[in-house]
């Protein structure tokens, strides 16, 4: 399997340190507000990575964090903790805010059929590990203390700017982060922030340096290395994490261990709406629940996300989402053909049917390999459309149902789109179809039309073919 590696700026083969196990860490949500559609693009893409690895016979150990403390409103290590800000906004404690939005996020994962990571870890449950990691850095001379906390001295880490290809010589104070006159370098970042002296925080802990709370960056390093070891096979996250968060993770992790932190870095690109990047700060984030309330199934949202490559700058619009919902409905109706196999007469249609079966068998082989090529989900969807077009044209025989079912299972395993468990129509509806066919044989067109209309009121459409009538959902 190959993946674009931000570290090397090239598409590299995945070479796990201890195959078939492959360790994967995903930067999870900061749970101070609802996740928006831009976030869900990212997490569906990361889930697709896990699925693609499994299709290749690898065994991912997947860790995702929940940032429930320490993520400040700016990269400057100043201002409010986002959880404290959320608590003030809602008149709750930071703990209550974190619990509420964590539950909402996990429900969104369920709706989008995102696999459950092997470990979902909260920053507040790993304060000890974070303190110990800071102590390691302190012992090696990478830290210093100023009025508001313990900081990492980026000038001590050779190659700090390499990952994001930062030009530190031209980095002006305030260009990437805001002014802090006590910091030795503009790029230095907080490992531990001291609690304010004028009020008590909801979330604060004792430490060797004083009461306070961890910085955002130290959390991911401490938790990922606890569960996955000093060197990760794959680290994933949004492209916006490259210049600050992931650069800082690398610096502190490699300084502490003396080892490469991650072999492969996978980054999901931005999502645009109306020409602007989706973000909470711009107020253009659309919640998953808003979409579902419009009658668009979450599975259509997932399909829409898969229509763009994870490295492309995706564009979200309601029209494109409606188109994805229509595509999903068409797929579901073609998948339902496995519930209504037909007999193929000994004529030219046999050749068409054999071609369809060959396409299905080829699709099973090619789907995994297409995803293995840098998670090329748009090409994978095109492949599925091609196979489905041939199945729709030829229909399925009883002997080909098993092969087609296997193809649907691979689609679910690789893309998280469940087409295998399509609900059958009722015996009463099947009888109406039989009665309509008999009316057509008798050329009782009025009765045939009446029965078609009756099925239509129940959300069932019919299509007459040379092999008989097949049904689909309207």
Tokens 């996740």 correspond to 35
**Rounded mean pLDDT of 36-56?**
97
* Residue 364 tokens, joined: 């099973």
- How much of the chain, in percent, has pLDDT values that exceed 70? 95
Return d(Cα 304, Cα 328) in angstroms, integer.
Answer: 9
> Euclidean distance between the first and final Cα of the chain, in Å?
39
Query: What separation in angstroms does the CA of 170 have from each of 15, 176, 187, 250?
Result: 36, 11, 12, 21
Contact 68, 106 (CB under 8 A): no
**Rounded mean pLDDT of 373-396?**
95
- Sheet-wide strand order for 271-273: 276-277, 271-273, 314-315
Contact 288, 111 (CB under 8 A): yes
- pLDDT of 391 > 70? The answer is yes
Sequence-separated (6 or more) residues with CB below 8 Å from residue 162? none
- So what's the pLDDT on residue 447? 95
Return d(Cα 36, Cα 287) in angstroms, integer.
Answer: 5
Sequence-separated (6 or more) residues with CB below 8 Å from residue 88? 80
- pLDDT of 27 > 80? The answer is yes
Contact 124, 98 (CB under 8 A): yes
**Rounded mean pLDDT of 246-252?**
98
- pLDDT of 190 > 50? The answer is yes
- So what's the pLDDT on residue 175? 47
Q: Residue 297, SS3?
A: coil
- So what's the pLDDT on residue 78? 77
- So what's the pLDDT on residue 166? 83
Split at pLDDT 50, 70, 90, the class of 271 is very high
Tokens 């870095």 correspond to 265
- Sheet-wide strand order for 212-214: 143-146, 149-152, 189-194, 212-214
Could you please report the per-residue DSSP string of 374-443? Answer: T--HHHHHHHHHHHHHHHHHH---GGGHHHHHHHHHHHHHHH----S-PPPPPHHHHHHHHHHHHHHHTT
Burial of 424 (C-beta count, 10 Å sphere; 0-12/13-18/19+): exposed
- How much of the chain, in percent, has pLDDT values that exceed 90? 84
pLDDT tens digits, 101-143? 999 999 999 999 999 999 999 999 999 999 999 999 999 999 9
pLDDT tens digits, 165-176? 887 766 544 444
Region class of 192: left (phi > 0), else alpha (psi between -120 and 50), else beta: beta
């Amino acid at each position: 399997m190959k993946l674009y590696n931000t570290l090397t700026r090239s598409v590299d083969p995945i070479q796990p340190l201890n195959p078939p196990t492959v360790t994967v860490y995903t930067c999870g949500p900061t749970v101070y507000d609802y996740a928006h559609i831009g976030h869900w693009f990212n997490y569906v893409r990361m889930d697709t990575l896990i699925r693609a690895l499994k299709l290749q016979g690898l065994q991912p150990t997947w860790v995702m964090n929940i940032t429930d403390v320490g993520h400040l409103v700016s990269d400057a290590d100043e201002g409010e903790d986002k959880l404290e800000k959320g608590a003030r906004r809602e008149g709750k404690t930071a703990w209550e805010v974190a619990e509420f939005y964590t539950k909402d996020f996990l429900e969104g994962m369920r709706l989008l059929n995102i696999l459950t990571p092997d470990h979902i870890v909260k920053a507040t449950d790993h304060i000890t590990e974070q303190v110990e990691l800071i102590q390691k850095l302190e012992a090696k001379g990478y830290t210093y203390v100023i009025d508001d906390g313990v900081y990492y001295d980026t000038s001590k880490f050779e190659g700090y700017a390499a990952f994001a290809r930062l030009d530190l010589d031209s980095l002006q104070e305030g260009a990437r982060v805001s002014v802090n006159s006590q910091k030795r370098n503009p790029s230095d970042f907080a490992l531990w922030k001291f609690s304010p002296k004028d009020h008590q925080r909801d979330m604060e802990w004792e430490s060797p340096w004083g009461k306070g709370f961890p910085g955002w960056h130290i959390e991911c390093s401490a938790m990922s290395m606890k569960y996955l070891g000093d060197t990760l096979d794959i680290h994933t996250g949004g492209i916006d994490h490259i210049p600050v968060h992931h650069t800082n993770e690398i610096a502190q992790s490699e300084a502490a261990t003396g080892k490469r932190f991650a072999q492969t870095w996978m980054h999901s690109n931005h999502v645009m709406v109306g020409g602007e990047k989706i973000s909470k700060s711009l107020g253009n984030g659309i919640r998953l629940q808003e979409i579902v309330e419009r009658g668009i199934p979450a599975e259509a949202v997932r399909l829409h996300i898969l229509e763009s490559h994870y490295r492309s700058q995706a564009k979200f619009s309601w029209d494109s989402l409606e188109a994805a919902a229509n595509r999903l409905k068409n797929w579901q109706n073609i998948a339902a053909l496995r519930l209504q196999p037909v007999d193929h007469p000994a004529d030219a249609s046999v050749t068409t049917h054999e071609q369809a079966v060959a396409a299905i068998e080829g699709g099973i082989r090619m789907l995994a390999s297409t995803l293995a090529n840098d998670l090329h989900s748009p090409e994978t969807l095109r492949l599925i459309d091609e196979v489905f077009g041939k199945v729709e044209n030829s229909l399925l025989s009883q002997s080909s149902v098993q092969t087609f079912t296997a193809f649907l299972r691979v689609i679910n395993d690789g893309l998280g789109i469940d087409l295998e468990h399509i609900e059958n129509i009722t015996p009463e509806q099947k009888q109406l179809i039989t009665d309509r066919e008999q009316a057509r044989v008798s050329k009782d067109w009025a009765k045939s039309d009446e029965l078609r209309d009756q099925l239509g009121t129940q959300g069932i459409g019919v299509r007459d073919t040379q092999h008989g009538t097949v049904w689909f959902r309207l």
